[in-house]
């Protein structure tokens, strides 16, 4: 995940997931999320998986932390096929 800077990557440290309805496979779904709070190396976020009709199928509260540069740096993005769409 990137928050506010295309070269600053976060990874999941903790996630609490709640299924609200069965989540189908082989069906297009929409994933949406937003940052709730950001402080130093940590951020908290809320995310949802929604059906094509907009119903919330699952939601998560997520604690994110800076990705250590030993694991990943911004130069790896192209090699991994990651793209930033504004």
In angstroms, the CA 67 to CA 29 distance is: 27
pLDDT > 90 in the chain, percent:
58
**For 42-80, how does the pLDDT look when each residue is reduced to its tens digit (9 = 90+)?**
999 999 999 999 999 999 999 999 887 777 666 677 776
| Fold type of domain 10-67 | Thiol Ester Dehydrase; Chain A (3.10.129)
pLDDT for res 49 = 97
Q: How confident is the model at residue 4 (pLDDT cuts 50, 70, 90)?
A: low
CA-closest candidate to residue 57, choices 35, 82, 25: 25
């Amino acid at each position: 995940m990137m928050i506010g800077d295309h070269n600053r990557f976060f990874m999941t440290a903790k996630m609490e997931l709640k299924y609200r309805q069965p989540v189908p496979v082989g069906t297009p779904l929409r994933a949406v999320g937003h940052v709730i709070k950001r402080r130093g190396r940590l951020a908290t976020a809320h995310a949802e998986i929604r059906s094509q009709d907009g119903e919330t199928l699952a939601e998560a509260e997520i604690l994110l932390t800076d990705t250590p540069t030993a694991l990943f740096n911004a130069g790896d993005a192209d090699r991994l096929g990651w793209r930033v769409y504004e």
